[in-house]
């Protein structure tokens, strides 16, 4: 009698249909994560415990996410197994409620461990060192000046007054930092000559001819007052007291840095106070900062959302802003603020901060998220600017709205100078106050720094390198540097986006907005122009 049963292949598993060789290989892969995580943990402990400063080394920063992910996975696995075993015991004893609760606990622990280890996977590897992309900008192309002056800051931290108070931030030292930054950026040995060189170069690149500042030309200074943003502090304004700082030590642009810049613009550039506007369109200009600035510069326009108590209200112009993404089709059109449209020059005065919520970092480019005065900033009727940031859209080669902001002719297109206030750097929005740094040369002190450049990509690239090397937080999120590469290669970006924020539809593609590069290491902080190996970034360090 013939058997109707198919002859079983002894090399194939009857349950899965896979060969035993394949099954063995798959079983080995399941152990790859715990073995790799354990080795990463042992390596981290062996290297860092004897010398904690090694935690800042690139190899340890690479190992730490795997080590921490392994620990989370281990705790979740042990907790889940323990809960299941106890659930079986209670089921056998007919204690069904406890059994169900323990099963739910087991599932919950597995889910938490999985979600956290998945989150770890969203963190990026360190970028390739000294591989510049894009076209460097500025009178000295790709130059970023870093001025470090520990005498500028003298604060013992929260509970000991506030960092912005005059006895904690030294105005004279900050003035000296601003002067040195402007002179070094231009290559001149006086402030007036330095500004003249920078402005002439900027006007020449814009097709206005090699001309300096002319009386009556208007200047807008965009600061970062995110700690004073109105959508976070939306209670009604009934009196001047409602303009007091809510978060007293938040990492906003310092009033001393604003004063130092205004002194330069008035006394060295020759601008009238009434031709200068400084502020943040989404925020209120708090009393504590306003009093410091207004006392010396009463005729400057202090821009904010509401325009109360002597401030200037942000208004829309008729100049449209177009997002270079299909997601903006059908949404309400954004418009450039009136003061920006009327300005001849912009100065972008940002802060040195990471951005744990969405962007990874928040430097000069993201400072322009406060340049479109929506009321409120996030509405379903407008394109959601946060949708295409790294937190929501991780990875490389995506459309990034920051590029449109950097390239619009009335925003990045008018920006004469990019500055990053690094007096008191912080972690937005994770912390409510700045944090002292361990990265040399700070060595447990405030960053006490100012960065300056005419290249919007280069200055943010340098800021990213500092943040990446100090903290293992948002700056390490996958896709954080994507906007820098997209901007550097805006004429042919990896995403394939046709970046054209000035027109409705694809009319004129943006050219390269600057040069991107990652430094060689956190100790030497050298870029290709420093090393003489390429046409990327030149970081010029000035210690006062």
**Closest to 158 in 3D by CA, of 355, 451, 426, 360:** 426
- The parent domain of residue 522 ranges over 137-206+214-543
pLDDT mean over 413-431? 94
Determine the 3-state secondary structure of 353 from DSSP.
Answer: strand
Higher pLDDT, 98 or 168: 168
Report the pLDDT value the prediction gives residue 372, as an integer from 0 to 100. Answer: 85
Give CA–CA dist 439/470, Å, rounded: 6
Q: Please tell me the least confidently modeled range out of 86-90, 164-168, 182-186.
A: 86-90
Q: Is residue 309 packed enough to be buried (19+ CB in 10 Å), middle (13-18) or exposed (0-12)?
A: middle
Q: Return the number of other C-beta atoms located less than 10 Å from residue 76's C-beta.
A: 21
**pLDDT tens digits, residue range 193-243?**
999 999 999 999 999 999 999 999 999 999 999 988 865 556 678 899 999
Say whether both 323 and 374 belong to one domain: yes
The strand pairing partners of 427, in sequence order, are 354
Hey, CA dihedral for 44, 47, 53, 59, is it positive or negative? Answer: negative
Give CA–CA dist 180/197, Å, rounded: 15
Q: Please tell me the least confidently modeled range out of 357-361, 375-379, 517-521, 539-543.
A: 375-379
Q: 425 preceded by cis ω (within 30°)?
A: no
Report the pLDDT value the prediction gives residue 13, as an integer from 0 to 100. Answer: 47
First CA to last CA distance, the chain: 99
**Closest to 307 in 3D by CA, of 399, 361, 375:** 375
Say whether both 201 and 230 belong to one domain: yes
Give backbone dihedrals phi and psi of 123, rounded to 5 degrees, phi first.
-90, 145
Say whether both 51 and 197 belong to one domain: no
Report the pLDDT value the prediction gives residue 229, as an integer from 0 to 100. Answer: 84
DSSP character at residue 104? H
pLDDT > 70: percent of the chain: 77
Report the pLDDT value the prediction gives residue 271, as an integer from 0 to 100. Answer: 98
pLDDT mean over 446-475? 96
Report the pLDDT value the prediction gives residue 196, as an integer from 0 to 100. Answer: 98
Higher pLDDT, 330 or 50: 330
Report the pLDDT value the prediction gives residue 73, as an integer from 0 to 100. Answer: 58
Say whether both 225 and 263 belong to one domain: yes
Last residue of a domain, one of 58, 89, 121: 121
pLDDT at 66 over 50: yes
Give CA–CA dist 347/454, Å, rounded: 10
Report the pLDDT value the prediction gives residue 525, as an integer from 0 to 100. Answer: 97
Higher pLDDT, 47 or 224: 224
CA dihedral 486, 488, 489, 490 (to 10 degrees): 70
CB-based contact 433:518 (threshold 8 Å) = no
Q: What is the mean pLDDT of the chain?
A: 86
Do the domain assignments include residue 14?
A: no
pLDDT mean over 88-100? 66
Give CA–CA dist 15/340, Å, rounded: 69
Continuous segment of H or E residues that includes residue 256: helix 255-264
pLDDT at 415 over 60: yes
Last residue of a domain, one of 121, 151, 180: 121
Do the domain assignments include residue 406?
A: yes
**Closest to 285 in 3D by CA, of 257, 318, 253, 328:** 253
Give CA–CA dist 48/125, Å, rounded: 20
pTM for the structure as a whole: 0.80
Cα–Cα–Cα angle for 407, 362, 149, rounded to 5 degrees: 110
Determine the 3-state secondary structure of 148 from DSSP.
Answer: strand
**pLDDT tens digits, residue range 303-353?**
999 999 999 999 999 999 999 999 999 999 999 999 999 999 999 999 999
The strand pairing partners of 543, in sequence order, are 148
Say whether both 82 and 34 belong to one domain: yes
Do the domain assignments include residue 313?
A: yes
CB-based contact 399:495 (threshold 8 Å) = yes
Q: Return the number of other C-beta atoms located less than 10 Å from residue 223's C-beta.
A: 28
Report the pLDDT value the prediction gives residue 391, as an integer from 0 to 100. Answer: 85
Total domains present in the chain: 2
Say whether both 85 and 157 belong to one domain: no
Determine the 3-state secondary structure of 317 from DSSP.
Answer: strand
Please name the residue that has the structure tokens 């008729």: 318
Say whether both 69 and 164 belong to one domain: no
pLDDT mean over 393-413? 96
Report the pLDDT value the prediction gives residue 161, as an integer from 0 to 100. Answer: 96
Do the domain assignments include residue 9?
A: no
DSSP character at residue 178? H
pLDDT mean over 255-274? 98
Report the pLDDT value the prediction gives residue 118, as an integer from 0 to 100. Answer: 46
Do the domain assignments include residue 131?
A: no
Say whether both 143 and 80 belong to one domain: no
Give the CB-side neighbour count of residue 527, counting CA atoms within 13 A.
Answer: 25
CB-based contact 374:367 (threshold 8 Å) = no
Say whether both 173 and 54 belong to one domain: no
pLDDT mean over 92-100? 66
DSSP character at residue 127? P
Say whether both 275 and 186 belong to one domain: yes
Report the pLDDT value the prediction gives residue 523, as an integer from 0 to 100. Answer: 95
Report the pLDDT value the prediction gives residue 195, as an integer from 0 to 100. Answer: 98
Do the domain assignments include residue 359?
A: yes
Report the pLDDT value the prediction gives residue 450, as an integer from 0 to 100. Answer: 98
Kindly report the length of the chain. Answer: 544
Say whether both 312 and 461 belong to one domain: yes
Say whether both 261 and 115 belong to one domain: no
Q: 441 preceded by cis ω (within 30°)?
A: yes
Q: Please tell me the least confidently modeled range out of 355-364, 475-484, 501-510.
A: 355-364
pLDDT mean over 103-132? 66
Do the domain assignments include residue 289?
A: yes
Last residue of a domain, one of 121, 145, 162: 121
pLDDT mean over 370-377? 70
Do the domain assignments include residue 196?
A: yes
């Amino acid at each position: 009698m013939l058997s109707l049963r198919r002859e079983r292949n002894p090399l194939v598993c009857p349950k899965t249909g896979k060969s035993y060789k394949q099954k063995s290989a798959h079983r080995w892969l399941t152990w790859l994560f715990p073995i790799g995580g354990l080795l990463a943990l042992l390596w981290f402990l062996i290297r860092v415990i004897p010398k904690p400063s090694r935690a800042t080394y690139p190899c340890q920063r690479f190992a730490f996410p795997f080590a921490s992910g392994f620990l989370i996975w281990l705790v979740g696995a042990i907790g889940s197994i323990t809960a299941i075993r106890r659930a079986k015991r209670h089921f056998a004893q007919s204690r069904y409620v406890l059994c169900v609760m323990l099963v739910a606990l087991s599932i919950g622990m597995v889910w938490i461990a999985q979600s956290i280890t998945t989150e770890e996977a969203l963190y990026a590897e360190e970028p390739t060192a000294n591989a510049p992309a894009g076209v460097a900008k500025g009178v000295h192309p790709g130059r970023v000046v870093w001025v470090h002056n520990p005498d500028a800051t003298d604060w013992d931290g929260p509970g000991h007054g506030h960092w912005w108070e005059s006895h904690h931030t030294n105005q004279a030292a900050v003035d000296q930092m601003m002067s040195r930054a402007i002179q070094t950026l231009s290559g001149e040995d006086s402030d007036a000559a330095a500004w003249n060189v920078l402005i002439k170069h900027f006007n020449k690149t814009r097709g206005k001819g090699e001309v300096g500042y002319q009386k009556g030309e208007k200047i807008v200074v965009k600061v970062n007052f995110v700690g004073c943003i109105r959508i976070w502090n939306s209670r009604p304004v009934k009196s001047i007291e409602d303009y007091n700082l809510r978060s007293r030590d938040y990492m906003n642009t310092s009033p001393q840095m604003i004063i130092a810049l205004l002194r330069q613009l008035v006394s060295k550039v020759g601008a009238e106070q009434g031709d200068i506007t400084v502020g943040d369109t989404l925020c209120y200009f708090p009393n504590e900062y306003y009093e410091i600035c207004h006392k010396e510069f009463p005729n400057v326009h202090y821009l904010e959302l509401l325009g109360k108590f002597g401030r200037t209200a942000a208004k829309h112009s008729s100049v449209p802003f177009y997002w270079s993404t299909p997601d903006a089709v059908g949404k309400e059109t954004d418009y450039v603020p009136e003061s920006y449209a009327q300005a001849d020059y912009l100065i972008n005065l940002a802060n040195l901060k990471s951005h744990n919520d969405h962007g990874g970092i928040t430097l000069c480019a993201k400072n322009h998220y406060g340049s479109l005065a929506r009321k409120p900033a996030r509405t379903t009727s407008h394109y959601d600017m946060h949708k295409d940031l790294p937190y929501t859209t991780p990875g490389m080669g995506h459309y990034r709205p920051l590029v449109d902001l950097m390239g619009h002719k009335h925003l990045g297109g008018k920006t004469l100078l990019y500055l990053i206030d690094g007096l008191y750097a912080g972690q937005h929005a994770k912390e409510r106050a700045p944090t002292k740094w361990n990265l040399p040369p700070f060595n447990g002190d405030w960053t006490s720094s100012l960065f300056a450049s005419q290249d919007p990509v280069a200055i943010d690239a340098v800021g990213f390198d500092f943040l990446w090397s100090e903290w293992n937080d948002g700056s390490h999120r996958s896709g954080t540097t994507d906007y820098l590469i997209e901007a550097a290669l805006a004429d042919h970006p990896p995403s394939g986006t046709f970046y054209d924020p000035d027109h409705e539809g694809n009319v004129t593609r943006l050219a390269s907005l600057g040069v991107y590069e990652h430094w060689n290491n956190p100790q030497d902080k050298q870029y290709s122009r420093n090393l003489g190996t390429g046409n990327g970034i030149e970081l010029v360090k000035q210690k006062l």
